[in-house]
Homo-oligomer: A and B are copies of this chain.
Amino acid sequence: MLDTEQIKRFAAEFDPQPFHLDEEAAKASMFGALAASGWHTMAITMRLLVESVPLADGVIGASTEVAWPRPTRPGMALQVFSEVVDIKPSHSKPDMAIVTMRSETRDQDGEVLQVFTAKMPVFKRERAHR
């Protein structure tokens, strides 16, 4: 579970804006209450993906899109749901494809906090029976 101290620690290092650091300042902001940096939500999402996505060469994004429909708040427990939405074989490199994966980061009630889409280079495995 994400707590206030973690939110403030990440923000102090990488995204030191008042609405990520201070409850009172956050009340007066667009967020209405303390919210995690979107990059903190993304970093936690990456951790969950690395622990679960079975790509032999690693989870390496060539290009990505990230959007945050709702703020991430203290006390939320984040979960990630991913699907492969496209696999495009490379024309120039016959052993490579570009896999497009769409991942939703949701809170404990299933509300979507972040939508992350990544295009990733993936290599074919050598086949023994060739």
Contact = CB atoms under 8 A, between A and B. Distances in A.
A43 B14 contact: yes
A34 B76 CA distance: 33
Given A14-B47, A39-B43, A62 B58 contact: no
A67 B68 contact: no
Contacts of A97: none
A37 B46 contact: yes
A63 B62 contact: no
Nearest to A64: B66
Contacts of A57: 29-30
A47 B64 CA distance: 20
Given A15-B46, A47-B13, A65 B63 contact: yes
Interface string A97-130: 0000000000000000000000001000000000
A96 to B, nearest CB: 11
B58 A68 contact: no
A2 interface: no
A33 interface: no
